[in-house]
Amino acid sequence: MPYAGTEIITQDKTTTSLALPWNVVLHDDPVNYMGFVTLTIRRVFGYPEAKAEKHMLEVHQLGRSIVWTGAREQAELYVHQLQSHHLTATMEKAGDDI
């Protein structure tokens, strides 16, 4: 029970999460074969060959490709999987991408 003279203030705080999705970015490297990059994208993301090849060519020609966008936990898993195949992969908040 509150002491006399004290006042209890109850404050409701509403936070709305506007979390941005995350991009999974695949980077070029001088060692991995283009065929291996395509195969790994197909395996990890389940993309059809044409889509995987498009990303591979983007990596090869532009140095990087956003291969997936979505929730943070899934992005972390995808980065982990790509790295386990020795591909250089990072994640960044969508909107932060250069």
Q: Which residue ranges make up the site for another protein (CB under 8 A)?
A: 25, 29-33, 35-36, 39, 42-43, 72, 76, 79-80, 83-93, 96
Q: SS in 3 state form for 77-96?
A: HHHHHHHHCCCCEEEEECCC
Residue with Cβ nearer another protein (29 or 70): 29
Q: Smallest gap, in angstroms, from Cβ of residue 37 to another protein?
A: 10
* Rounded-to-integer distance, Cα 2 and Cα 5, Å: 8
Residue with Cβ nearer another protein (7 or 73): 73
CB 25, CB 67: distance < 8 Å: yes
Residue with Cβ nearer another protein (1 or 52): 52
Read off the tokens for 37.
């990059």
Q: Smallest gap, in angstroms, from Cβ of residue 3 to another protein?
A: 38
Q: Smallest gap, in angstroms, from Cβ of residue 9 to another protein?
A: 28
| Residue whose structure tokens are 């140095």 | 63
Give the rounded distance of the alpha carbon of 20 from its chain centre: 11
